Structure 1
Amino acid sequence: MKLIILACIVGACSAAVLPGYIAPQYRYPYNYQDARARAALDRGASIVRSESEVNEQGFRYAFDTDNGIHADETGVEANGIQAAGSYSYTGDDGQVYSVTYTADANGFQPQGAHLPTPPPIPAAIARSLAENARDEAAGIFDDGSYNDARYPGVVLARNQYPTRYNPYRPYRRY
């Protein structure tokens, strides 16, 4: 009995000393800013120019920093906020990245030479979309629901089986 109690005490003490698991990216020595090549330059950046204006018609701001970051935006309130602007910065590889954008009811729409573009639409899908547009223009709408009148052969094939589907006996016995 004494041996069991002693084992429980030793087990509890040793379990209390063990630290919890911390994922490698969250351990102390790692810091994202220290891993970047331009971290020291970006950390000490100061604002060189700053302009801001807000009035009844909308807003406008622009700023520049001494490490090459530039941003500007103008916007108005019409059906929500409609804004357009741009920003640019120097990446870790030394290349200047520039983005122009609009943000309105259609969402945020960035444009830049370094941003990925979607692949072209395959020819078969483009033909299908064109056919759907022609059908809708002619008044033919296919909402995806089944219609017996459109598929008479299926109705005839289904009617040759007199019994209805029974959920308790899903398999047909022949």
Structure 2
Amino acid sequence: MKALIINGHIKWPQIAEGNLNKTIFEKSKTIFEEKGYEILETVIDNGYEIPQEIEKWVNADFLLLHFPINWFGMPAKTKDYIDKVLMSGYGKIYAGDGRNNGGNYGSGGLLQSKGMIVNTWNAPEETFGNSGQLLEDFSMEKFTKPFTATLQFLGVQPLPTFAFYDVFKNPNIEQELSSFETHLKNNI
């Protein structure tokens, strides 16, 4: 079995160097290796070749995409990667939106794998779903639905999202890494 682990952190010198996402990336690789997976990897900020990325997506049994949330979305360079790889993957990753084969919209995915979104936030966890907070109407799963819907569109079964919260002002990295390890092991 193969796991594609994608590090979508984009370095911002003196603001966000990417150490946490590098740690998540390495921890993920270790967990998958312990479970017997062959590792396919991409660090978007290091560059990539689209044909090789398409093959990684096609060959992966598990896709783990992690990235920081910048201004309530994925970094632009990470979104650019997604757009280029997926649009170029027509016929290998997906075959239309599904309706051209008599299915419903979103049923044209050709991948048969599992996937997980992992993200890092400056926002504290209580920002989500609590009255008076900025994201009071959103759970993490609701907020990340556009990302997990992309996986579903491709035929990837999305698993529960994992988030690291408050990573700048009140980081609790060791505890969250432990929780992440448990979360990932329980979902592989």
Name the one with the larger helix percent.
2
Q: TM-score, normalised by structure 1?
A: 0.20
TM-score (norm 2): 0.19
Greater CA radius of gyration, 1 or 2?
1
Say which structure is richer in strand: 1
